[in-house]
Structure 1
Amino acid sequence: MSNAEDAPRPGPGQDPSFDPAGEAKRLLRAIRTAALGTLNEDGAPFVTLTAVATDHDGSPILLMSRLAAHTRNLERDPRLSLLLPEIGGGDPLAHPRLTLIATAERSAEPSLKARYLRRNPKAALYADFPDFSFWRTRVLKVHLNGGFARAADFGPQALLTPLDDAQGLIAAEEETLARLDAECAEALALLAKKAGGAGKTRWRASGLDPEGLDLCAGDACARVVFPERVTTPESLRATLAAMTKNAAGEA
């Protein structure tokens, strides 16, 4: 797919300030409960609810039991759709939601398990049961409905995060997140509040990538977007220090 084909294609008459790719990235990283659609043996659609996390590049990660109908569906046909809706008050159709068309396959990659369990810690109770396995999705198409007159269709390159230059950052993720949780609770709370994560005080870092930091507090999640791409632990520290200083000044 070319870059031109992959770029967001907003509909006519939409707000020129609307950033479809940015909004899609935010929903992808901030929402951890999705509707999962698979295909039954007779080809009929089958939809269920699932918890979700993301790999470093944004590819959704699922944890599923072989006893579940949707797992057996994917074993037979790897095609799926995920709907990640933002929940809020008022008209539910006025809130943004992200639809992904994708395929999925099992993966024993340790980093997938680590990122999923940091995002969904209660899943540690059953993640090692023999019938459970982790699945990594491959996004093929993206549809964003950002609310009234805010919609776009695009390909995966506009949604996912390139990683080629960020291996140092990724390799240091476990150590970095542990340090943030142990030493930077106040800073994480400030950053979460600025990112829209109001009403919680104890936030923990659940994942990082070159474009942002994922935070969780109980069932709430927040996505902290970096002002510029971060590829090393050193640049991450400098970026977070500057962002925390700015957030403190605005508090």
Structure 2
Amino acid sequence: MKDKTEVIKDARRLLRTQELGVLSTHSKSMEGYPFGSVTTYISTVNGEPIFYISDLAQHTRNILKDPRMSLIAFTGDDDDANAGARLTVMGEAVKIEKEQAEKIAERYYRIFPSSTQYKKAHDFNFFILRCHKVRYIGGFGEIHWISKQDWLLDEPDWLEAEDGMITHMNDDHKDAMQLILKDQLGVEAKDVEMLAVNPDGFFVKADEQKPLFISFSKIARTGGSIRKALVDMTNKARAALA
């Protein structure tokens, strides 16, 4: 049986690796009834989902009246869906104000570049799901509740330097990222671009594929630990692929 640390790591990996989720909100027009919808999402460095949604959408109208909601993310690639992994993040939706939204938009557009077209529509806004509790099912019989305290990661001290780290990796270490990608995920790519960094891993774009998430072996809270994780992964990949 996995310990709590491994369970939470698996659950976070599921949230990071998926890009489409089911929102469950309280219906404004049919009081007392749940309303399900589908949207893309990213997540903050500490593990809270972020959505880019229109004020005209029914789910947005619902959360503006009652912010209590949940997001379900799931693998969806198993022969038996009931045996696959799925995750429910429960909490309250909060609209992100303009000052914070600009930084979040940079990350969101790197993951979903086609979403830049929505900038012209003035009714699109970013919302964050402030986590209260997480339910994770890793497969048959692997059922776990995860508290807010255990789920949320502390803000890393390298956050303000993230753009510089990404630029450095893309300018000077594409070969290392190619090795890591092949070793960790079995993906060969002619071109690899780092898109975003989290304490538990990082996103890359391989050729024209959708973004891929590569996990660190442990949480990297400092700039030094990010560098060490990438160096260790590169050395491991070189040895494995030699």
1:224 aligns with 2:211: no
The answer as to 2:83 corresponding to 1:91 is no
Q: Which of residues 65, 71, 90 in structure 2 aligns to 1:101?
A: 90
Q: Is 2:27 aligned against 1:36?
A: no
Residue type of the alignment partner of 2:51:
L
Q: What SS does the corresponding residue of 1:172 show, helix, strand or coil?
A: helix
Q: 1:94, CA displacement in angstroms?
A: 1.9
Distance 1:225 1:82, change over 3 A: same
- The CA deviation string for residues 3-26 of structure 1, in whole angstroms up to 9 with x for no partner, is xxxxxxxxxxxx346832111111
Within the alignment, does 1:240 sit opposite 2:230 as a pair?
yes
Are the structure 2 counterparts of residues 189 and 128 from structure 1 closer, same or farther at C-alpha, using a change threshold of 3 Å? Answer: farther
SS of the counterpart of 2:119?
A: coil
Picking from 156, 160, 176, the partner of 2:165 is 176
Which is further off, 135-144 or 234-243?
Answer: 234-243
Displacement of 1:39 in angstroms is 1.0
Paired position in structure 2 for 1:5: none
* Equivalent position of 1:207 in the other structure: 196
Q: Is 2:239 the partner of 1:249?
A: yes
Structure with bigger RCO (C-alpha 8 Å, 6+ apart)? 1
Judge conservation of contact 2:201–2:213 (CA < 8 Å) in 1.
Answer: no
Q: Is the 8 A contact 1:211 1:225 kept in 2?
A: yes
* Cα deviation code 1:219-251 (max 9, x no counterpart): 24223214453412x442233122111112112
Q: Counterparts of 1:214 and 1:220 in 2: how far apart (Å)?
A: 6
For residues 10-159 of structure 1, what are the structure 2 equivalents within 5 Å?
A: 15-16=1-2, 19-41=6-28, 42-107=31-96, 108=98, 109=100, 110-159=102-151
The gaps in structure 2 that reach 5 residues or longer are none
**Alignment gaps of 5+ in structure 1:** 1-14
TM-score by length of 1: 0.84
Q: 1:121 to 1:141 in 2, by over 3 A?
A: same
Higher helix proportion: 2
- For 1:61 and 1:70, the matched residues in 2 are separated by 14
Amino-acid identity (%): 27
Contact 1:191 1:244 in 2 (8 A): yes
